[in-house]
Structure 1
């Protein structure tokens, strides 16, 4: 009888230990690998490739003043010049960018090496980024793809190209949605983005990660964790058990939202 009681006590202790261990979160490291299947095996801290959005005056305008003022006239045909890159890369960009045309009353007219185009795409190293909407400088690139090659997987083309052209249509980063509530581990986030390949200071991280857009100056729908405009959020950079994997396609909310912004 005593042996049975001892076994029950031992089993209970082991069960409690297992629960406590499973809730423990490892300290964030640059090479930490997420083990959860839903986070996808490629969602590593060391492999996060993100874009940065740009405004016409490079960020001196208060955040949230962009999407309404940068929205194109509904029904517009927007000239997009692809400057550089291989024929394969340019064809892939066109293929995935045009997915927006299925849901928004906007057309893209793709050309090459035309400096009169409102959207001017380059393929230089140094990251991927886009200006937001129609508010772009008169010269120079307005969008760039820094890591796309002839052999890049279609899923990565889909993730990056649809995302950047979402910015070009005036969409913001979803993790900066006016109503978002991500439980960021701020010291871990600052440490990660201060290291290679970003080398961001605290102010840049605040601007690109933590700043939210205004509800009064932004057209927005409900916060959408599955949006193509959402950054990947590794579990190591949050408090508790919260993460967002790689969103590679337009979500249902993306489709309905852009249709409301540019209705047919």
Structure 2
């Protein structure tokens, strides 16, 4: 996103997204199976409660009003009816997302589950300009969009953008960004794999799209004069986020010990099951069948769902398996999100 200048124009100062991690997949993995894993791996399991904490109270950007804009941005995504929840916490150790306001750091956020790889004393989201302006509010939406799993839209391989590479490096290498070549490549010129993006079209109106001045884009010709800033969520933004995180209305099905529950899922879909153990002891929860699945367990507490443990068996010829101690009459939710199936395509979940 761009930072606004004091005179109301837009300065080309951008979100410097850190490089995304990719799962290391076996070279003999089928293309369909690899694509499914790459498509899903950065997304959260739907229904996850994402906890965010502020590491400062506005830093050198401003005061409490900066924090309010981040809160409003999370709420804007939630107001679409998505299944994710957002909860502010005071202890950074209890958070997946940690926010700082530092002008010299610029604006950036880790993407989706990459947030989990960052130490709990380190920020995962930074803001480098005032969030109370129109552009600042859009920046807050953009960075929170990264946090829930969305990458830069102009790096969509279906955009068909041909850059004036030398001019892009020259423009971003100078003030106010002063980016080295690798940052410019990672955030502007590098195209995502087709396996990493949903759908087959580019949305230039997306909140995840940068605005660009004239002369940087060679093709499509209509954008040689630049791309105007996106100041809110586009229709496609709303469609995509609801595709990945649909509303959770139904109560999870109760799963009994040694009961095999079939999972009839498409790529990216998930099934939720309630577990209420009759004894306090060690249990195993696992999937069966030829599938790549991320399996997670949460405890349903008065303060909401709290993460217990998870297992991701993607790209491996084994089934997801959790082994953990469950407490009698406590309520838990097991969630299985599918990457892909092969063979018979029949899979199931059981706990014992």
Q: The TM-score by the shorter chain falls in which range?
A: 0.7 to 0.9
Aligned ranges 1:79-94 → 2 under 5 Å:
79-84=51-56, 85=58, 86-94=63-71
Match of 2:9 in 1: 42
Q: Secondary structure at the match of 2:108?
A: strand
User: Within 2, Cα distance between the matches of 1:179 and 1:237?
Assistant: 18
Deviation at 1:212, TM superposition (A): 1.0
Aligned residue pairs: how many? 216
Please say if residues 52 and 98 of structure 2, whose CA atoms lie closer than 8 Å, have aligned partners that are also in contact: yes
Higher strand share: 2
Please say if residues 84 and 245 of structure 2, whose CA atoms lie closer than 8 Å, have aligned partners that are also in contact: yes
Deviation at 1:76, TM superposition (A): 1.4
Q: Deviations over 1:57-110 (max 9, x none)?
A: 6x9989x98662121110111111122123221112101221111232111101
Structure 2: any 5+ residue segments left out of the alignment? 1-7, 26-34, 248-352
Higher relative contact order (CA 8 A, sep 6+): 1
Please say if residues 13 and 176 of structure 2, whose CA atoms lie closer than 8 Å, have aligned partners that are also in contact: no
Please say if residues 55 and 66 of structure 1, whose CA atoms lie closer than 8 Å, have aligned partners that are also in contact: no
User: Within 2, Cα distance between the matches of 1:119 and 1:66?
Assistant: 22
Match of 2:95 in 1: 117
* 1:106 maps onto 2:88 in alignment: no
- The 1:199/1:157 distance shift into structure 2, 3 A limit, reads closer
Match of 1:141 in 2: 123
Deviation at 1:221, TM superposition (A): 5.3
Q: Secondary structure at the match of 1:204?
A: helix
- The 1:60/1:235 distance shift into structure 2, 3 A limit, reads farther
Q: Secondary structure at the match of 1:236?
A: coil
Structure 1 residue runs of 4 or more that deviate by more than 6 Å after TM superposition = 59-62
Please say if residues 235 and 241 of structure 1, whose CA atoms lie closer than 8 Å, have aligned partners that are also in contact: no
Deviation at 1:190, TM superposition (A): 1.3
User: Within 2, Cα distance between the matches of 1:109 and 1:218?
Assistant: 28
Please say if residues 73 and 144 of structure 2, whose CA atoms lie closer than 8 Å, have aligned partners that are also in contact: no
* 1:209 maps onto 2:188 in alignment: yes
TM-score (norm 2): 0.57
User: Within 2, Cα distance between the matches of 1:192 and 1:61?
Assistant: 34
Q: Give the alignment's Cα RMSD to 1 decimal.
A: 2.5
Match of 1:16 in 2: none
- The 1:201/1:247 distance shift into structure 2, 3 A limit, reads same
Structure 1: any 5+ residue segments left out of the alignment? 1-40
Deviation at 1:220, TM superposition (A): 4.1
* 1:73 maps onto 2:45 in alignment: yes
* 1:96 maps onto 2:43 in alignment: no
Could you tell me which of 162, 168, 175 is aligned with 1:196?
Answer: 175
